[in-house]
Structure 1
Amino acid sequence: MSFRDLSLSPAVLAALPSQYHAPTPIQQQAIPAMLRGQDVLALAQTGSGKTLAFGLGLLQQLALSSEDAISLAKLTAVVIVPTRELAAQINDVLAPLSKALNIAQAMVCGGIGLNEQVAMLEQAPPRLLIATPGRLLDLITQRLISVNQVKHLVLDEADRLLEMGFWPDLQRIVQAMPAQQQRLLFSATLAGELAEKVSLLMPNAQRIEVGEQNQLVDAIEQRCYLVNKGSKAQALIALLKETFPQQPALVFINARDSADALAKKLNKAGIVARALHGEKDHAEREQALLAFKKGEVRVLVATDLLARGIDISALPVVINLDLPPSAPVYVHRVGRTARAGMNGVAISLVCHGEMPALAAIRELTGAKLALEHLEGFAVTDKPASGERKRPVRDKKANRRRMNNRRSNK
């Protein structure tokens, strides 16, 4: 099948970059449904081409409505994503297509001055807006932007947006938009407990699934090594120097403070590394990500900020220094490698205390994830027995004893 078989207009086909030869399975199914005006819930593996799946469908519909002079001056399509890094990536992918089709496009997100973004929106009112929830809600609440003409709403990385942290903001944004609009949800994973929220947003959506949910592409080789908790940093350095010499790697870690400390250790060991997490300001995050993409930094140590949707081309290695506490996050992390038909390796360094997390990942993905021995790193830690070394202290009883002693003095 070719893109020509998807009922895309000659203008959209002409705007497609030359590297896109044939539509991926999710594009083959989602684009026709979008062009029919249906609401769509699309679930597909990471790296399967979801951005173009909704991007081409949106741009086609916006291009067809461009003959209406009134619509040209109105915001008619909004894409909402959980992080500014993902917003920037989608903006970069769609911008050349939008420009070729003469469709005004803009991005708004936190971490950038509000006044700066308002000035940008006033100077060039967009028809297609890519936004993070918090900043979009700010603009709507302060009446700095109008969403009452929005006809197409996309939620990318929908499972994250439907979680409690984003859900209240998302509800308020949707309430400010017209009740009648096309709604599109795209994600690699979607937990069963989110089904009620999906049905509230789009009760009649066409569900499209490509591959099994929570499964990773076959091109990813997954390995798990059992190591002592205190040996993880040194084991990582050994892997980077001996197993993957000179190859760029994305290393995931759970705590922000630990990300900075690990980056320092790697640099001290002669491995050029940068840390990337939510406490970094917008400029720092952009610089770190750009330096990694350009090869100026060999290792990027990141929290789960980058687990969602970031597309780093030709990334050969992803390493979990810590297993994520949520099993679906593992799918998003590991999916940063082996994208666009390439191969990749995903390594997890596991200590005894992470066995429950590993069991949850095995159950979710169906992968065996056998624990291997890492040469030079003998495991001396003992599995947790589940018993406390000391009895739980009764703090109230302790205070009563102390008070009795004072009263007897």
Structure 2
Amino acid sequence: MPVDLSHEPRVAELAERTAQFVREVVVPEEERFGGVAAAGGDAMRTRLQSAAKQAGLFAPHVSPEYGGHGLDMRGRAAVFEETGWSLFGPLALNIAAPDEGNMHLLEAVASPAQKETYLRPLAQGEIRSCFAMTEPAPGAGSDPAALSTMARRVAGGWRIDGRKWFITGADGAAFAICMARTSGDPGDRGGATMFLVDAANPGMKIVRHIDTLDESMYGGHCEVVFDNCVVPDEAVLGEVDKGYDYAQVRLGPARMTHCMRWLGIARRAQEIALARASERRLFGSRLGDLGMVQGMIADSEIDLAAARALTLQACWELDNGGSGAQSTGIAKAFTAEAVWRVVDRSVQICGALGISGDVLLGRFLREIRPFRIYDGPTETHRWAIARRALRRAAGSAR
């Protein structure tokens, strides 16, 4: 059967217009201000999102019912990569983490009333959100089953108690999707439930911003305490004790959209390195004529192509109803390491310029590095990939 890797015309056209918009509208903002806070915070977000709406590019992943383009995962791959050319690009098109993943989850799981209350304003950029799952040790992290935040039934609803940290976007979020244990004990593979918690709830408090390498995640990475946080029964997202199942609905696609966005930054880093290698002269020739530099350029081209192919394969599986557990794990593990290598090589090729503030490579390096940890560290994915392969081999032997 022939394999066609081209995108349908409407997706290709949307990706092309996105690339132009990001380069002409978004990149100048990024180069002028550097960080999100310096660019004006929420005022900058509103300004860029308004421009994206006027350009007809806003929310490409959301269904038309909620104002988006309704792209499937393969369509998102083309558009999100172009958006990722700038650190501000995903924010401009309303596809930044964690909001993009939360929209995907809410479309799949939320009730009609919850969609109107939470999904519609989120998809339109009127509010932001966060996803509260990760906990300080010994709580949930690489092992979600270690979940220790508890939710107990009270009159008319639930009381949530626990501590979360590295909750991206919590500062300024209108609501959180909080994962809490409703049955069993930490270490059990079931018994989790998702709750929609409004930021105005007095039982949910941000206690600090965690200082991290990266700065482009809007709303920071926060430590959040749920203390006697009472929510009504209507706050349950989906069904009680089905939280781990819903987490897979969100996490597989979210891993892939991270890969798509960071591929954009890696491509931009490679372009900066190529420009430098083409113009810089030393030892009587161009930098790009040196064999060692050519080797680095070639390795980066290979990393970019392989990461894109693995991401598309995983997206194809998700679009066709597959679990995507193995393919998304492989794609995430490879892409996280590959984009790091590409940006790191670009810094090296550019030499002193690469570590200066005259180009953004140093910033890209800081932003890329945490991707090897969040959404599952590379080592955890490799462990899970090997376990699945061994189970498959054992099944074949039987």
Q: Bigger radius of gyration, 1 or 2?
A: 1
Higher relative contact order (Cα pairs below 8 Å, separated by 6+ residues): 1
- Whether TM exceeds 0.5 here: the answer is no
Q: TM-score, normalised by structure 2?
A: 0.25
